[in-house]
Amino acid sequence: MPALLVVDRAVPLVRDVIGRRDGWTSVGTGGLRRIDLPDAVYASARERCTGVDEDRVMAVPVSGAPMHMRGEGAPMPTRAQLRDRRDSPGGAWTGEGVLVGTVDTGVQPHPWLAGGYLSAPSDFEPHPAAGDGAGPTEPLEVGHGTFIAGLVLQQAPAAGVWVERALGPTGEALSSQVAEAAMTLARRGVQVLNLSLGCFADDPNSREVMQQLVDDLHAVSPEMVVVAAAGNLGGPGEPATPEDFWPAALRDVVAVGAVETPTSTRWAEWSNRGRWVDLAAPGSRLVSTFVEGTVATTDGEQLRYEGWARWSGTSFAAAVAAGAIARLMTGRRPLTAKEAVAALRSGAYSSGWTRPDGAVPAVPVVRLATWDQQQAAPTAA
Protein backbone atom coordinates (compact mmCIF):
# COMPACT_ATOMS: atom_id res chain seq x y z
CA MET A 1 0.00 0.00 0.00
CA PRO A 2 1.87 3.13 -1.19
CA ALA A 3 2.20 6.32 0.85
CA LEU A 4 1.26 9.55 -0.85
CA LEU A 5 3.01 12.70 0.30
CA VAL A 6 0.59 15.54 -0.30
CA VAL A 7 2.27 18.89 -0.81
CA ASP A 8 1.21 22.33 -2.04
CA ARG A 9 -1.71 22.32 -4.48
CA ALA A 10 -2.50 18.60 -4.14
CA VAL A 11 -4.14 18.80 -0.70
CA PRO A 12 -7.76 19.69 -1.61
CA LEU A 13 -7.73 17.44 -4.70
CA VAL A 14 -6.69 14.34 -2.80
CA ARG A 15 -9.25 15.07 -0.10
CA ASP A 16 -11.84 15.06 -2.88
CA VAL A 17 -10.55 11.72 -4.19
CA ILE A 18 -10.81 9.90 -0.88
CA GLY A 19 -13.83 11.83 0.39
CA ARG A 20 -12.67 11.90 4.01
CA ARG A 21 -9.80 12.95 6.29
CA ASP A 22 -9.60 9.80 8.44
CA GLY A 23 -6.10 8.44 8.69
CA TRP A 24 -4.23 11.61 7.74
CA THR A 25 -0.84 11.88 9.42
CA SER A 26 1.04 15.17 9.81
CA VAL A 27 4.39 15.28 8.05
CA GLY A 28 6.46 18.17 9.34
CA THR A 29 4.62 21.45 9.13
CA GLY A 30 3.02 23.76 6.59
CA GLY A 31 -0.11 21.70 6.04
CA LEU A 32 1.73 18.65 4.72
CA ARG A 33 -0.13 15.37 5.19
CA ARG A 34 0.50 11.72 4.38
CA ILE A 35 -2.02 8.94 4.08
CA ASP A 36 -1.81 5.31 3.01
CA LEU A 37 -4.06 4.88 -0.02
CA PRO A 38 -5.18 1.86 -2.04
CA ASP A 39 -3.37 1.51 -5.36
CA ALA A 40 -6.38 2.58 -7.43
CA VAL A 41 -6.98 5.73 -5.42
CA TYR A 42 -3.27 6.54 -5.43
CA ALA A 43 -3.18 6.31 -9.24
CA SER A 44 -6.32 8.43 -9.56
CA ALA A 45 -4.86 11.13 -7.34
CA ARG A 46 -1.59 11.23 -9.29
CA GLU A 47 -3.52 11.52 -12.57
CA ARG A 48 -5.53 14.49 -11.32
CA CYS A 49 -2.76 16.31 -9.43
CA THR A 50 0.17 17.62 -11.42
CA GLY A 51 3.32 17.41 -9.33
CA VAL A 52 1.47 15.74 -6.49
CA ASP A 53 4.64 14.30 -4.99
CA GLU A 54 6.82 17.36 -5.54
CA ASP A 55 7.42 20.27 -3.20
CA ARG A 56 7.51 23.87 -4.31
CA VAL A 57 11.12 24.91 -4.94
CA MET A 58 12.14 27.96 -2.92
CA ALA A 59 15.30 29.96 -3.65
CA VAL A 60 17.31 32.85 -2.25
CA PRO A 61 16.58 36.23 -3.86
CA VAL A 62 19.93 37.80 -4.82
CA SER A 63 21.05 40.08 -7.60
CA GLY A 64 24.16 38.82 -9.36
CA ALA A 65 27.13 37.07 -7.79
CA PRO A 66 29.01 38.42 -4.76
CA MET A 67 31.33 41.27 -5.73
CA HIS A 68 34.98 41.11 -4.76
CA MET A 69 36.21 43.54 -2.09
CA ARG A 70 39.81 44.01 -3.23
CA GLY A 71 40.60 47.41 -4.68
CA GLU A 72 37.36 49.08 -3.65
CA GLY A 73 38.94 51.07 -0.84
CA ALA A 74 36.53 49.92 1.85
CA PRO A 75 38.14 49.17 5.23
CA MET A 76 37.38 45.69 6.45
CA PRO A 77 35.82 45.21 9.88
CA THR A 78 37.65 43.12 12.43
CA ARG A 79 36.70 40.75 15.20
CA ALA A 80 37.89 43.35 17.70
CA GLN A 81 35.27 45.79 16.44
CA LEU A 82 32.49 43.33 17.30
CA ARG A 83 33.82 42.83 20.82
CA ASP A 84 34.27 46.57 21.34
CA ARG A 85 30.71 47.26 20.27
CA ARG A 86 29.33 44.73 22.71
CA ASP A 87 31.09 46.55 25.52
CA SER A 88 30.28 50.06 24.29
CA PRO A 89 28.42 52.63 26.45
CA GLY A 90 25.43 52.16 24.18
CA GLY A 91 25.36 48.42 24.76
CA ALA A 92 21.65 48.51 25.59
CA TRP A 93 21.06 49.05 21.89
CA THR A 94 23.04 46.06 20.65
CA GLY A 95 20.42 43.32 20.71
CA GLU A 96 21.79 41.50 23.72
CA GLY A 97 19.62 38.54 24.71
CA VAL A 98 17.66 38.51 21.42
CA LEU A 99 17.78 35.31 19.37
CA VAL A 100 17.38 35.72 15.61
CA GLY A 101 16.83 32.55 13.59
CA THR A 102 17.52 32.21 9.88
CA VAL A 103 16.83 29.37 7.45
CA ASP A 104 19.56 29.50 4.85
CA THR A 105 22.51 27.79 3.17
CA GLY A 106 24.20 27.35 6.54
CA VAL A 107 27.15 29.24 7.95
CA GLN A 108 30.92 29.06 7.74
CA PRO A 109 33.29 29.75 10.63
CA HIS A 110 34.42 33.38 10.48
CA PRO A 111 36.53 35.32 13.00
CA TRP A 112 34.19 38.31 13.00
CA LEU A 113 31.14 36.14 13.71
CA ALA A 114 32.79 34.33 16.63
CA GLY A 115 30.47 34.30 19.64
CA GLY A 116 27.59 35.72 17.64
CA TYR A 117 26.02 32.66 16.04
CA LEU A 118 24.79 29.20 16.97
CA SER A 119 24.86 26.29 14.58
CA ALA A 120 25.07 22.51 14.76
CA PRO A 121 27.85 20.78 12.81
CA SER A 122 25.31 19.69 10.18
CA ASP A 123 24.36 23.34 9.62
CA PHE A 124 27.79 24.43 8.39
CA GLU A 125 28.13 25.24 4.71
CA PRO A 126 30.55 23.27 2.55
CA HIS A 127 33.81 25.13 2.04
CA PRO A 128 34.32 26.16 -1.62
CA ALA A 129 37.63 24.30 -1.77
CA ALA A 130 35.94 21.11 -0.57
CA GLY A 131 33.64 20.91 -3.61
CA ASP A 132 29.98 21.89 -3.61
CA GLY A 133 28.41 19.28 -5.87
CA ALA A 134 26.93 21.86 -8.24
CA GLY A 135 27.29 21.60 -11.99
CA PRO A 136 29.39 24.08 -13.96
CA THR A 137 26.37 26.11 -15.10
CA GLU A 138 24.50 26.21 -11.80
CA PRO A 139 24.57 29.48 -9.83
CA LEU A 140 26.38 29.01 -6.54
CA GLU A 141 25.03 30.69 -3.43
CA VAL A 142 27.63 29.30 -1.04
CA GLY A 143 28.23 32.00 1.56
CA HIS A 144 24.67 33.34 1.51
CA GLY A 145 23.94 32.25 5.08
CA THR A 146 27.29 33.58 6.30
CA PHE A 147 26.55 36.92 4.61
CA ILE A 148 23.09 37.04 6.25
CA ALA A 149 24.50 36.30 9.72
CA GLY A 150 27.01 39.13 9.37
CA LEU A 151 24.32 41.63 8.35
CA VAL A 152 22.12 40.77 11.33
CA LEU A 153 25.08 41.19 13.71
CA GLN A 154 26.03 44.52 12.13
CA GLN A 155 22.65 45.86 13.19
CA ALA A 156 22.56 44.10 16.58
CA PRO A 157 26.12 43.01 17.46
CA ALA A 158 25.26 41.31 20.76
CA ALA A 159 22.29 39.35 19.42
CA GLY A 160 22.55 35.62 18.76
CA VAL A 161 21.97 34.33 15.23
CA TRP A 162 20.82 30.72 15.06
CA VAL A 163 21.49 29.41 11.55
CA GLU A 164 19.52 26.39 10.36
CA ARG A 165 20.73 24.93 7.09
CA ALA A 166 18.04 23.95 4.57
CA LEU A 167 19.21 25.45 1.26
CA GLY A 168 21.79 23.75 -0.92
CA PRO A 169 24.82 25.46 -2.50
CA THR A 170 22.64 26.56 -5.41
CA GLY A 171 20.45 28.47 -2.95
CA GLU A 172 17.42 26.22 -3.43
CA ALA A 173 15.36 23.95 -1.20
CA LEU A 174 11.99 22.26 -1.20
CA SER A 175 9.25 23.98 0.75
CA SER A 176 9.00 21.03 3.13
CA GLN A 177 12.70 21.39 3.99
CA VAL A 178 12.23 25.08 4.70
CA ALA A 179 9.16 24.30 6.82
CA GLU A 180 11.01 21.72 8.90
CA ALA A 181 13.95 24.05 9.53
CA ALA A 182 11.69 27.00 10.38
CA MET A 183 9.69 24.92 12.85
CA THR A 184 12.92 23.75 14.50
CA LEU A 185 13.91 27.37 15.09
CA ALA A 186 10.45 28.26 16.41
CA ARG A 187 10.69 25.44 18.95
CA ARG A 188 14.10 26.73 20.03
CA GLY A 189 12.53 30.03 21.00
CA VAL A 190 13.86 32.47 18.41
CA GLN A 191 12.13 35.83 18.70
CA VAL A 192 12.80 36.91 15.11
CA LEU A 193 12.78 34.46 12.19
CA ASN A 194 14.49 35.65 9.01
CA LEU A 195 13.52 33.97 5.73
CA SER A 196 15.71 35.41 2.98
CA LEU A 197 14.13 33.03 0.47
CA GLY A 198 10.87 32.35 -1.30
CA CYS A 199 9.19 31.75 -4.64
CA PHE A 200 6.71 33.16 -7.12
CA ALA A 201 3.64 30.90 -7.01
CA ASP A 202 0.45 31.34 -9.03
CA ASP A 203 -1.39 28.43 -7.45
CA PRO A 204 -3.69 29.51 -4.57
CA ASN A 205 -3.33 26.10 -2.93
CA SER A 206 0.44 26.52 -2.77
CA ARG A 207 -0.07 29.80 -1.00
CA GLU A 208 -2.50 28.16 1.41
CA VAL A 209 0.16 25.62 2.37
CA MET A 210 2.68 28.40 2.99
CA GLN A 211 0.13 30.30 5.04
CA GLN A 212 -0.46 27.16 7.09
CA LEU A 213 3.28 27.01 7.74
CA VAL A 214 3.26 30.55 9.12
CA ASP A 215 0.18 29.79 11.20
CA ASP A 216 1.89 26.68 12.57
CA LEU A 217 4.98 28.70 13.46
CA HIS A 218 2.91 31.21 15.38
CA ALA A 219 1.01 28.42 17.12
CA VAL A 220 4.34 27.19 18.48
CA SER A 221 5.74 30.67 19.17
CA PRO A 222 2.94 33.29 19.24
CA GLU A 223 5.25 36.24 19.96
CA MET A 224 7.79 35.44 17.25
CA VAL A 225 7.87 37.68 14.17
CA VAL A 226 8.67 36.36 10.69
CA VAL A 227 10.67 38.60 8.34
CA ALA A 228 10.93 37.64 4.65
CA ALA A 229 12.53 38.99 1.49
CA ALA A 230 10.19 40.56 -1.05
CA GLY A 231 12.03 38.88 -3.94
CA ASN A 232 14.04 40.14 -6.89
CA LEU A 233 12.81 40.98 -10.36
CA GLY A 234 14.75 40.80 -13.63
CA GLY A 235 18.34 41.92 -13.95
CA PRO A 236 19.48 45.45 -14.88
CA GLY A 237 17.62 46.68 -17.93
CA GLU A 238 15.35 43.64 -18.03
CA PRO A 239 11.64 44.52 -17.99
CA ALA A 240 9.84 42.88 -15.09
CA THR A 241 6.46 43.31 -13.45
CA PRO A 242 6.24 43.16 -9.67
CA GLU A 243 4.23 40.20 -8.42
CA ASP A 244 3.50 38.46 -5.15
CA PHE A 245 6.44 36.61 -3.65
CA TRP A 246 5.85 33.95 -1.05
CA PRO A 247 6.08 33.68 1.94
CA ALA A 248 6.72 37.45 2.11
CA ALA A 249 3.26 38.29 0.72
CA LEU A 250 1.46 36.28 3.40
CA ARG A 251 -0.40 37.88 6.26
CA ASP A 252 1.53 38.02 9.53
CA VAL A 253 4.85 38.14 7.65
CA VAL A 254 7.00 41.29 7.54
CA ALA A 255 7.88 41.73 3.85
CA VAL A 256 11.02 43.74 3.08
CA GLY A 257 12.05 45.22 -0.27
CA ALA A 258 15.30 46.97 -1.16
CA VAL A 259 16.29 50.57 -1.88
CA GLU A 260 19.26 51.65 -4.00
CA THR A 261 21.65 52.97 -1.35
CA PRO A 262 21.78 53.42 2.45
CA THR A 263 20.77 57.07 2.01
CA SER A 264 18.24 56.56 -0.79
CA THR A 265 14.47 56.25 -0.63
CA ARG A 266 14.25 55.03 -4.23
CA TRP A 267 13.42 51.38 -4.87
CA ALA A 268 16.26 49.35 -6.37
CA GLU A 269 15.13 48.62 -9.92
CA TRP A 270 15.41 44.87 -9.33
CA SER A 271 13.49 44.91 -6.02
CA ASN A 272 10.04 43.38 -6.04
CA ARG A 273 7.31 45.52 -4.50
CA GLY A 274 3.58 45.58 -3.93
CA ARG A 275 0.83 46.57 -1.51
CA TRP A 276 1.91 43.67 0.69
CA VAL A 277 5.44 45.04 1.28
CA ASP A 278 5.77 46.42 4.82
CA LEU A 279 9.28 47.89 4.86
CA ALA A 280 12.22 48.76 2.67
CA ALA A 281 15.89 48.55 3.65
CA PRO A 282 19.24 49.07 1.95
CA GLY A 283 20.02 46.01 -0.15
CA SER A 284 22.54 47.14 -2.78
CA ARG A 285 26.28 46.49 -2.59
CA LEU A 286 26.20 45.74 1.13
CA VAL A 287 29.39 44.58 2.86
CA SER A 288 29.27 41.52 5.06
CA THR A 289 31.01 38.33 6.12
CA PHE A 290 31.65 35.81 3.35
CA VAL A 291 33.62 32.68 2.57
CA GLU A 292 37.39 32.44 2.43
CA GLY A 293 38.38 30.69 -0.76
CA THR A 294 37.83 30.64 -4.51
CA VAL A 295 34.30 30.72 -5.89
CA ALA A 296 33.46 30.17 -9.55
CA THR A 297 30.89 32.49 -11.16
CA THR A 298 28.35 31.33 -13.74
CA ASP A 299 30.53 32.70 -16.56
CA GLY A 300 33.53 30.67 -15.40
CA GLU A 301 35.44 33.45 -13.66
CA GLN A 302 37.36 32.37 -10.56
CA LEU A 303 37.12 34.88 -7.70
CA ARG A 304 39.22 34.68 -4.58
CA TYR A 305 37.58 35.90 -1.37
CA GLU A 306 39.23 36.66 1.95
CA GLY A 307 36.14 36.43 4.15
CA TRP A 308 34.38 39.58 2.94
CA ALA A 309 32.23 40.57 -0.04
CA ARG A 310 29.70 43.00 -1.41
CA TRP A 311 26.36 41.58 -2.51
CA SER A 312 22.92 42.85 -3.49
CA GLY A 313 19.40 41.51 -3.08
CA THR A 314 16.21 41.69 -1.06
CA SER A 315 17.70 38.75 0.88
CA PHE A 316 20.02 41.22 2.49
CA ALA A 317 17.45 43.98 2.96
CA ALA A 318 15.42 41.44 4.98
CA ALA A 319 18.46 40.63 7.13
CA VAL A 320 19.00 44.34 7.83
CA ALA A 321 15.37 44.62 8.97
CA ALA A 322 15.63 41.50 11.14
CA GLY A 323 18.72 42.93 12.82
CA ALA A 324 17.00 46.29 13.33
CA ILE A 325 14.11 44.55 15.10
CA ALA A 326 16.58 42.88 17.47
CA ARG A 327 18.26 46.24 18.04
CA LEU A 328 14.98 47.95 18.92
CA MET A 329 14.09 45.16 21.32
CA THR A 330 17.02 46.18 23.55
CA GLY A 331 16.62 49.92 23.39
CA ARG A 332 16.21 52.39 26.23
CA ARG A 333 12.61 51.25 26.41
CA PRO A 334 12.79 47.53 25.56
CA LEU A 335 10.15 46.35 23.14
CA THR A 336 8.76 42.95 22.25
CA ALA A 337 9.45 41.71 18.74
CA LYS A 338 5.94 42.64 17.62
CA GLU A 339 6.23 46.09 19.19
CA ALA A 340 9.54 46.60 17.40
CA VAL A 341 7.90 45.72 14.07
CA ALA A 342 5.09 48.19 14.79
CA ALA A 343 7.68 50.86 15.57
CA LEU A 344 9.47 50.22 12.27
CA ARG A 345 6.21 50.33 10.34
CA SER A 346 5.39 53.69 11.94
CA GLY A 347 8.70 55.12 10.75
CA ALA A 348 10.80 54.74 13.90
CA TYR A 349 14.48 54.00 13.21
CA SER A 350 14.03 54.90 9.53
CA SER A 351 16.03 57.05 7.15
CA GLY A 352 12.92 58.19 5.29
CA TRP A 353 10.02 56.80 3.30
CA THR A 354 9.91 55.43 -0.21
CA ARG A 355 7.92 57.31 -2.79
CA PRO A 356 4.57 55.83 -3.83
CA ASP A 357 5.04 53.72 -6.96
CA GLY A 358 1.76 53.27 -8.80
CA ALA A 359 -0.40 51.12 -6.54
CA VAL A 360 2.51 50.58 -4.15
CA PRO A 361 2.22 52.88 -1.11
CA ALA A 362 5.16 54.56 0.60
CA VAL A 363 6.86 52.46 3.28
CA PRO A 364 9.58 53.31 5.83
CA VAL A 365 13.22 52.66 4.92
CA VAL A 366 14.97 50.87 7.78
CA ARG A 367 18.16 52.62 8.82
CA LEU A 368 21.38 50.74 8.09
CA ALA A 369 24.01 50.60 10.82
CA THR A 370 27.17 50.94 8.74
CA TRP A 371 30.65 49.79 9.69
CA ASP A 372 32.04 53.26 10.39
CA GLN A 373 29.08 54.11 12.64
CA GLN A 374 29.49 51.02 14.77
CA GLN A 375 32.38 52.37 16.84
CA ALA A 376 30.34 55.35 18.05
CA ALA A 377 27.92 54.85 20.94
CA PRO A 378 24.46 54.34 19.37
CA THR A 379 21.62 56.72 20.09
CA ALA A 380 17.90 56.21 20.33
CA ALA A 381 15.81 56.41 17.20
User: What are the residue numbers of the active site?
Assistant: 104, 144, 315
Beta strands across the sheet bearing 3-6: 3-6, 33-36, 25-26
Q: Which of 47, 28, 31 is nearest to 39 (CA)?
A: 47
Compute the distance between CA of residue 36 and CA of residue 42 in angstroms, rounded to an integer.
9
Phi, psi (degrees; rounded to nearest 5) at 154: -65, -40
CA angle at 26 for the pair 23 and 29, rounded to the nearest 5°: 160
213 neighbors 248 (Cβ within 8 angstroms): no
146 neighbors 83 (Cβ within 8 angstroms): no
Q: Where are the beta strands (DSSP E) in 68-196?
A: 99-104, 117-118, 160-165, 172-174, 192-195
Give the three-state DSSP class for 113.
helix
* Cα 255 to chain centroid, rounded: 10
What Rg, from alpha-carbon coordinates, does the chain have?
Answer: 21
The enclosing H or E element of 175 equals: helix 175-187
The enclosing H or E element of 240 equals: none
